[in-house]
Amino acid sequence: MSMRPGDLFELAERPWPLPPVLALVAACWGVLGWPWLSGRVTIPWDAKAQFLPQIQFMAHSFWSGESPAWAPFVFSGHAQIADPQSMLFSPPFLILAAVSPNPTSHQVDITVLLAILAGMLAVAAWFHERNWHWAGAVLAALSFGFGASMAWRIQHTSQVMSLAMLAIVLVLLERALKKSSWGHGLAAGITAAFLVLARDQIALISVYLLIAYVVAYWLASSIGRSDDERGITQRIRSSFLPLAAGTLAGALVIALPILMTTLAA
């Protein structure tokens, strides 16, 4: 069968079912992550010396009926609520602390890997939203979860959470912009707020990336191929409601923690 120029590009853009690809990504995650999931090895260094005690303190506070906002064991006391590394505003570890009164290092490792899996699935979903090839979605998800930046920072738990959150925000933001959906915009803003509350350099760079992403969306019809032929003015107008909803929700979530950190600093 002969192929015309451009046929390969069109084949790559045909819709593909998302669930099987997500299942394949999850299976690859299980294989690559098995040494840590099984407990044979552990995530070392800062993950255990810095972040594990913080998570255990939070869980102990929850289960003893005390506030995790103040830690009496550091000098004459320490404002945990103002500490960017306290993990008090990290949803995966809030869930872990809520279900386990004394999180073990293995449980924390599993939570980290589950957060990475969530980010990997989000990368695959993002490829699906943009009509890119399913094989690229799998490769990108594996590279995101086990290569480059994530692998190098695996001991820095808060930065791992930031990277995972970034992928989820990208999917929600893509849907919010394409569908002019205030609901997706709201979800993107809340998720981005928890990204910001990591208050690390990955979160800062991610915020710059998300801003550039929105600007690129506005300019897409004039700088490249796009299925959506709306002009810049129309794109800005259609994105106003979802971006406003996300900005308002995100600002409400981050206001108090950021104020606390500013006062502590």
Number of H helices, E strands in the chain: 12, 2
Our measurement of the distance from residue 178's CA atom to the centroid of its chain's CA atoms, rounded to an integer in Å, reads 20
**Could you list the pLDDT tens digit for every one of the 265 residues in the chain?**
454 544 433 445 578 999 999 999 999 999 999 999 999 999 999 999 999 999 999 999 999 999 999 999 888 899 999 999 999 999 999 999 999 999 999 999 999 999 999 999 999 999 999 999 999 999 999 999 999 889 999 999 999 999 999 999 999 999 999 999 999 999 999 999 999 999 999 999 999 999 999 999 999 866 554 556 678 899 999 999 999 999 999 999 999 999 999 998 8
Place of tokens 């912009």: 177
Asked whether 197 and 205 are in contact (CB, 8 A), the reply is: no
In sign, the C-alpha dihedral spanning 125, 139, 131, 175 is positive
pTM exceeds 0.85: yes
Asked whether 246 and 188 are in contact (CB, 8 A), the reply is: yes
> Could you give the residue ranges of the DSSP H alpha helices within 104-155?
105-129, 134-146, 148-152
* H or E stretch covering 217: helix 201-223
